[in-house]
Structure 1
Amino acid sequence: MNVLSQGPWPTLSDYDALLMDVARRIQLTKTKHEIAETNFRALCQYVDREGSPLENKVIECYPSGSFATGTAIASRVAKAQHDVDVVMELDVPPNSPPRDIISLLFLAINGEEGSRYYGKVTQNSRCVTVEYGDGTTVDLMPIARIAGPERAGNLFHFKRETGETHHKPVNPWGFAKYFNDHVDFDPAFYDLFKGRRLLVEGQIVEKAETQPMPNHVPVEEKSARVVALQLLKRNRDIVWRAPNRTGRKPPSVALAAMALDAGTVHASLLDEVIAIASHIRSRLVESDGPRGTVQVFNPAYPPDEFTDRWPENEAAQELYDGDLRRLIVNLYKLRNENFSLAEQQEVLERLFGETAATYAIESTLDARLREMDANRLHLGSTGKVLGAAAAAVGGTTAARAATREGGGELSE
């Protein structure tokens, strides 16, 4: 069956198609989503097992952060690695010494030599991290409920290197609910990109079954704001891989909170990324916090500050402002310049990494080949689609030749 026989699709710009394919490549697969759920549930049961230092102390476990808001991305795309943040509500006094609670959770998971997770566990200042053989991780953050809104609790902070210790009021469940209530499924976004999915994948893919963890949702069934935020996070991760980059990354939860206030959602995915990045830049000039930096709070529970550890100082704030400025400049170039496929790939690699960029370019070539088969269109020397008349005047270039623009084939 020719996928184009389904009927005409809404017009989709080249640059939006590229960004959508980048976004598609950094998504977690349904299989990885299910593995993440299996891992975190097994850990919660293990902490509560008979003989554990925290036996019968686990009230509830649930994903927080990106998994709870549908903004999770692969931390390492080529290796399909991902990180899961999990809240573990414990039946302990909310004013318990943070050192004791963090240490007990570490001991409960690490266990004795030869046990399931022994040697795979790291104790951090606010969570305990378990790393699996494939490089994926689960961060378990213990909290104890306190009076106030539903699921509010005290987080336990203890930094062994300095002895720094305190309790922090948080409500990750409240923020996830608030975020999801404000970025509902967008039918227009789905209608715009479903045709692209058919062109790229060559088949209709059914919506995933409901999962106990927040559903695994195909990328085009998400809000444009969610997808744009995922691209923003991917750019942040790529930038922070530079060998000279040090310090904390801007926390995903702070970026998500600021993105909610970026105004009306744009029909163009590229314009939506620019709008969020520009709005965050406007926040990064603020200096009202105790360190002379921006402060971002949980809109569902204002005592919960998302920027209590980043930015560490004005320099860190200015550093990320520069990253966002370069992102915006490059996206404007992608939209406004008549770039060849090789030039488009160079921009995408700089912003989102080689693996995602290669996937986007190859998907573009595949989509154009399908259009050529269906409509007798041709590729020009820059990879642009030409009609039959234009092709007769200007000549055509085979699709495979387009992959060698700039001197090298596309590869993983």
Structure 2
Amino acid sequence: MNTQFAFTGLNPFDDPLDRIFAEIALSIQLPPSLHDKAKGREKAVRTHLEGTAAFQDQIEHFYPQGSMAIDATISTRGTDDEYDLDLVSQLGGRFRSMKPLDILKELEKAFADYPVQRIRRQTRCVTLYYADKMHLDVTPALRNSGTAERESFITHAKGPQPSADDSFVDMNAYGFAEWYRERTPLEARMAEEFHRRWRNLERSGFRAEAEVDDVPDQADFVVKNVATLALQLIKRFRNIVYAGYSGRIPPSVMLSFYAGRAAQPNTALSVMVIRISKWIIADIENATLYGKRLHVTNPVCEDDVFTDRWPESVDQQNEFARHLRALVDGLEKMRQGEMFPDDMMEWLRGNFGDRVVTRATENIAAEVGDAIQNSQQLYTRRGGLIIPKPAIITGSVTAATVTAPTVAAAKPHTFFGKKI
């Protein structure tokens, strides 16, 4: 493994525009307490499987994959407080001679008495549904001998009866997570600030809707760099624009690939969202130019195709490119101060969801209010005073107001008397 360089990173809360996006990200990502609970459930699920006759001494590795492996989990599509988490159970022994559907049925049977609300066998995994709206996908895998570490075949079988379409699909989720972490090193200043804000928000009760447990003081903060934060925002944007769509949507693992590929430490948050989006748009345009569907593979396993089930057509990928262009256009207008405050709030709510944008602005209002009560000012690294425009907090300013949030020269009590 290559040695990573240490990066300071930019604090998005220093920038009035990036601040609202950072607050949105805080509102959608897996809370630290649920992150700890997920770890506990991962262990409990493995212990349960190993305690059954079918899986005793048959589990070679048990590990997270997807967003859970790279600390990029956000709320599930169409929701604000449900989370999908993914685990891989690498199996050995007798499972190597079984068919895909038989393995999935065996896994489903092993969870028959597991204490969750519901159990569902999917095409490639078995999903456990918990009462607190967490969903845990357990994907069975068989080691592909002679290949990179943990490269495996996962099951693909729709059921309920065996089909000619049943197969084993090559994948290396473990290797991809390692690749992603290498591409997205820790940005210390950003991570520390987010850790601080997580603890403050949880203690003040702002996230009571999404969790039950208190967060231990020493809980590790999980989002460590701006690329992952931008990835979470793009995933949220995708979830909102496809909220009423019944078909397949752009896969999270594909978006994660582009975040890793476009990663550039010490970049502003809104700039990173634009950068990742433009990278995706460029590849879609290039594929469309030749009448081909977008083809994205795991950088450490070319037979692991991230786009094997999406896009289903050139038109489908072009639709996503149009959505991304609208996202980029809106962000660039905001960065250039070309969007009126009321329009900005409407755009944010339309693209990231009314509830989380409202929660984010309430968090900003609360922090500004606390700073005023404590006779504190919020300063940038260069000594400028961060003044959230009223529209950023409430959306109530008229079009005649200044069109973008600003960083003003530091003056005593600049926003005293402002209505938050």
* TM, length-normalised to structure 2: 0.77
Q: Does the 8 Å CA contact 1:175/1:298 hold for their aligned counterparts?
A: yes
Matches within 5 A, 1:385-396: none
Aligned to 1:143: 141
One-letter code aligned to 2:180 = F
- Between 1 and 2, higher relative CO (CA 8 Å, sep ≥ 6) is seen in 2
Aligned to 1:181: 182
Separation (CA, whole Å) in 2 of partners of 1:380 and 1:119: 45
Separation (CA, whole Å) in 1 of partners of 2:173 and 2:81: 26
Q: Does the 8 Å CA contact 1:85/1:139 hold for their aligned counterparts?
A: yes
Correspondent of 1:24 among 18, 23, 26: 26
Matched, 1:217 2:204: no
One-letter code aligned to 2:37 = I
Separation (CA, whole Å) in 1 of partners of 2:52 and 2:21: 49
Separation (CA, whole Å) in 1 of partners of 2:81 and 2:257: 26
Aligned to 2:273: 273
Q: Does the 8 Å CA contact 1:130/1:137 hold for their aligned counterparts?
A: yes
Q: Cα distance 1:135–1:390, how it changes in 2: closer, same or farther (>3 A)?
A: closer
Aligned to 2:37: 35
Q: Does the 8 Å CA contact 2:119/2:127 hold for their aligned counterparts?
A: yes
Q: Cα distance 1:15–1:77, how it changes in 2: closer, same or farther (>3 A)?
A: farther
Separation (CA, whole Å) in 1 of partners of 2:141 and 2:170: 9
Q: Does the 8 Å CA contact 1:84/1:137 hold for their aligned counterparts?
A: yes
Q: Cα distance 1:201–1:342, how it changes in 2: closer, same or farther (>3 A)?
A: farther
Post-superposition offset of 1:19: 0.7
Q: Cα distance 1:268–1:397, how it changes in 2: closer, same or farther (>3 A)?
A: same
One-letter code aligned to 2:280 = I
Superimposed CA distance per residue, residues 300-335 of structure 1 (whole angstroms, 9 cap, x where no aligned partner): 222211111111111221121122112112212332
Instruction: Give secondary structure in 1 for the equivalent of 2:303.
Output: coil
Q: Does the 8 Å CA contact 2:116/2:129 hold for their aligned counterparts?
A: no
Superimposed CA distance per residue, residues 212-269 of structure 1 (whole angstroms, 9 cap, x where no aligned partner): xxxx4254xx111111011111111112212xx2311211111111222226345210
Separation (CA, whole Å) in 1 of partners of 2:274 and 2:84: 26
Separation (CA, whole Å) in 2 of partners of 1:137 and 1:319: 29
Post-superposition offset of 1:50: 3.5
Separation (CA, whole Å) in 2 of partners of 1:119 and 1:189: 38
* Structure 1 residue runs without a partner (length 5+): 1-8, 211-215, 401-412
Matched, 1:362 2:362: yes
Q: Does the 8 Å CA contact 2:191/2:221 hold for their aligned counterparts?
A: no
Aligned to 2:101: 99
Separation (CA, whole Å) in 2 of partners of 1:399 and 1:179: 44
Aligned to 1:403: none
Instruction: Give secondary structure in 1 for the equivalent of 2:298.
Output: coil
Separation (CA, whole Å) in 2 of partners of 1:252 and 1:329: 22
Post-superposition offset of 1:190: 4.5
Counting aligned pairs with the same residue, the percent is 26
Separation (CA, whole Å) in 1 of partners of 2:359 and 2:331: 18
Aligned to 1:123: 121
Q: Cα distance 1:391–1:315, how it changes in 2: closer, same or farther (>3 A)?
A: same
Q: Cα distance 1:314–1:196, how it changes in 2: closer, same or farther (>3 A)?
A: same
Aligned to 1:4: none
Q: Does the 8 Å CA contact 1:380/1:391 hold for their aligned counterparts?
A: no
* Structure 2 residue runs without a partner (length 5+): 1-10, 205-214, 379-384, 393-404
One-letter code aligned to 2:114 = R
* TM, length-normalised to structure 1: 0.79
One-letter code aligned to 1:217 = F
Aligned to 1:292: 292
Q: Does the 8 Å CA contact 1:298/1:305 hold for their aligned counterparts?
A: yes
Separation (CA, whole Å) in 1 of partners of 2:358 and 2:312: 35
Separation (CA, whole Å) in 1 of partners of 2:148 and 2:271: 36
Matched, 1:399 2:419: yes
Superimposed CA distance per residue, residues 103-122 of structure 1 (whole angstroms, 9 cap, x where no aligned partner): 11111112xxxx33487111
Post-superposition offset of 1:146: 1.5
Aligned to 1:165: 166
Q: Does the 8 Å CA contact 1:291/1:312 hold for their aligned counterparts?
A: no
Q: Does the 8 Å CA contact 1:10/1:191 hold for their aligned counterparts?
A: no
Give the alignment's Cα RMSD to 1 decimal: 3.7
One-letter code aligned to 2:333 = K
| More deviation, 142-151/334-343 | 334-343
Instruction: Give secondary structure in 2 for the equivalent of 1:83.
Output: strand
Separation (CA, whole Å) in 2 of partners of 1:338 and 1:200: 32
Q: Cα distance 1:209–1:202, how it changes in 2: closer, same or farther (>3 A)?
A: closer
